[in-house]
Amino acid sequence: MIRFSELMSGQTLLPLIQAETPEQGVKIAKAMADAGLGLVEVVLRTKASLATISAIKQQLPQLTVGAGTVINEGILQQAIKAGADFIVTPAVSANLLQALKNCGLPVVPGVSNTADILMALEAGFSEQKLFPASLSGGPAFLKAVSSVFQDVRFCPTGGVNEHNKDEYLALDNVIAVGGTWVAKQQWVEQQNWQAITDACIAANKA
């Protein structure tokens, strides 16, 4: 199976979309695509999230679209049915990891400590999401675990922003960084799609 890092294809930003309507989600995704991004994640935090995934897949077929905030098998199956290309979770459990192993899609399970990392690694996932990154030790934590979990690479999310992203990306065990700062709520409310495009261009620079 293709890995998350292969889907990223050199993209260092995992941009998060939180939309109140599918139409809004498509506009956010288009602004991100206009920045040259080929992959986005829709967080399943609103009632419109699943429909947003389907709408983006239909209207922007060139985009790889992931489903985030997957916390149980029921939500996992709904995300797959909506057309998600990959799955991201905020945390792990034995039950969830078993469902993820069998889902047939690339998965980035969420971890926040060494026990989580080991549990996810034992389940076969060597690419993981550190969440919430800033409250779980940040770059210092990732640097500390790099010698212990030498085969694990991370996508830190949660508290990552334009001011600290480079500190994460400088680490050898970081694939990319995820965040919502590139699609700030006020920009969405103001329909300032150019601001989202500009922020994504700046954030994805190597």
Length of the chain: 206
- Segment 64-93 shows an average pLDDT of 98
- Segment 90-94 shows an average pLDDT of 98
Q: Is the peptide bond before 132 cis (omega within 30 degrees of 0)?
A: yes
pLDDT score recorded for residue 206: 56
Q: What percent of the chain has pLDDT over 90?
A: 97
pLDDT above 80 (res 118)? yes
Higher pLDDT, 10 or 192: 192
Catalytic residue list: 41, 129
Give the Cα-Cα-Cα angle 16, 168, 194 (nearest 5 degrees): 40
CA distance to 18, 25, 85, per residue, from 80 (Å)? 18, 18, 8
What's the whole-number average pLDDT of the chain?
A: 97
Is residue 155 a contact partner of residue 39, using CB atoms and an 8 Å limit?
A: no
pLDDT score recorded for residue 49: 98
- Sequence-ordered alpha helix ranges (H) in 34-183: 49-59, 73-82, 94-101, 114-122, 138-145, 165-169
Is residue 79 a contact partner of residue 106, using CB atoms and an 8 Å limit?
A: no
158-164 contacts at long range (C-beta below 8 A, 24 or more positions apart): 158/130, 158/131, 158/132, 158/133, 158/134, 159/132, 159/133, 159/134, 159/135, 160/133, 160/134, 162/199, 162/202, 162/203, 164/134, 164/138, 164/139
Sequence-separated (6 or more) residues with CB below 8 Å from residue 168: 133, 138, 139, 142, 156, 160, 174, 177
Structure confidence by residue, pLDDT tens digits, 21-44: 999 999 999 999 999 999 999 999
- Segment 46-60 shows an average pLDDT of 98
pLDDT score recorded for residue 1: 79
